[in-house]
Amino acid sequence: MVEPEMVRVLGRSAFHDTALTSSGDLSYLGGEWRRDVAFAGFEVTIQMDVSAQKMIYGVSGIDPQRREELIKVLDIDLSWRMHKASDGQRRRVQICMGLLRPFKVLLLDEITVDLDVLARANLLRYLKKECAERSNNYLCNAYF
């Protein structure tokens, strides 16, 4: 473990300040949307007969305009049944849900791995626009 002053995010200790992740200022989207189930084997897809609409609209306290924009950007069909959706469709829903709430710092870990070229380009264009609109041009230009 590093010393508290060695790694800081938003002026706070990245590994010691547990309120950092619960503040809503920091958002993490990882590539792991599968769950290892010991008796069923590794990388068993989480399966439940639920629609993309129910998952996305099930998140409360969301700006409706932001939600609609993300649905459009990610080209999500709200009637998708998650237990029948392709890996790319599942990833789109995961990304949408992860971006519904605004953030100050967004950590992405191989999030575009299951996206096709067009979906990936649309997502990166959206993230760049998000950076520019929220006056984070330095970071936006550094990473896009």
pTM of the complete model beyond 0.95: no
Residue linked to tokens 């550094």 = 142
pLDDT mean over 10-29: 80
Query: Residue 69 to residues 20, 30, 122, 130: CA-CA distances in angstroms?
Result: 27, 21, 11, 11
pLDDT mean over 56-78: 95
Question: Is residue 39 predicted with pLDDT exceeding 70?
Answer: no
CATH superfamily, domain 8-143, is P-loop containing nucleotide triphosphate hydrolases (3.40.50.300)
Q: Which of 73-77, 80-84, 107-111, 117-121 has the lowest mean pLDDT?
A: 107-111
Q: What are the boundaries of each domain within the chain? A: 8-143
Percent of the chain with pLDDT over 70: 81
Question: Is residue 111 predicted with pLDDT exceeding 80?
Answer: yes
